[in-house]
Amino acid sequence: MTGTVDRREFVIASLAAGLIASLPGLALAQADPASDAVRRLRVLATQHALNRLAQPEGFWNSTVARFGLPVLFVKRGGAPAGPLADATFRFNLQYRLNHLAEAAARGAVPTVGEAARKAPIVDAPGILRGRATAATSELRAAMGSDLVNAIRVPLEQALIAAQDATVTQAVAALPGVTLGDVAHSVALAADNGIWYEIGLAEADIRADPAATNDAALIAALQRGPAAAPVLGPAPSPAPRPGL
């Protein structure tokens, strides 16, 4: 009888251990300390960045994520026609597209969050000692086009739901262009902005790891200073369009 109970308790304990190890928050703790720290850094940086960009005017007010008019609207052979020939209209369109890109930040959360936790890490100690956006750069390379693919549909849905008059006028001025084309074009522009924002969030965490209240991450990042971040050019201060 005792042997049966012991075996049953062993099986139950084994199943419980497997379940605990499968939980996302605890899975990080199973890796080696350096890889664990890189994953923690990636998860926090992506969370902070996407949360900022999903806020009202998140892209527009960002020092690195705000984007200009996508190529779709500015390079179609010859001078722009119709409303796109007007500088004020182009500025308002840029503002509206940056505003609609907030949907991209929200749509990116599942895909980027999963990659931040599970994407392979090469030379974790080197990343921790490297430049201030090293973890972001490796994550971006690992994801490839996955982010663009993840945000295109939410962007198209946002464009359809918004029925924005400025976007509608712009599309009408471009024969053959659909909202799906606009969504893809904005996704390519927002992709860069999202990665620049994640890189900035990583640099912020490295500059003040104590603010994370994560003992393992603090210990890993305080072992040596990171090099200066490598980000995109900062846009000019965000003005407001005359809507």
C-alpha distances in Å from residue 52, one per residue of 73, 154, 160, 177, 205: 27, 17, 24, 31, 14
User: Is residue 77 predicted with pLDDT exceeding 70?
Assistant: no
Write down the pLDDT at residue 74: 78
Residue 8: pLDDT band with limits 50, 70, 90: very low
User: Is residue 27 predicted with pLDDT exceeding 70?
Assistant: no
Write down the pLDDT at residue 10: 38
pTM for the complete prediction? 0.80
Tokens of 118: 């599970």
Write down the pLDDT at residue 7: 42
Q: Are 197 and 65 in contact (CB under 8 A)?
A: yes
Could you read off the pLDDT of 147-175 as tens digits, one per residue?
A: 999 999 999 999 999 999 999 999 999 98
Residue-wise DSSP of 37-57: HHHHHHHHHHHHHHHHHHSTT
Burial degree of 154 (CB within 10 A; 0-12, 13-18, 19+): buried
Could you read off the pLDDT of 87-132 as tens digits, one per residue?
A: 999 999 999 999 999 999 999 999 999 999 999 999 999 999 999 9
- Separation between Cα atoms, residue 36 and residue 13, nearest integer Å: 25
Give 50's contacts (C-beta < 8 A, 6+ positions apart).
Answer: 105, 106, 108, 109, 112, 194, 197, 198
Where in the chain are the domains? 1-30, 32-221
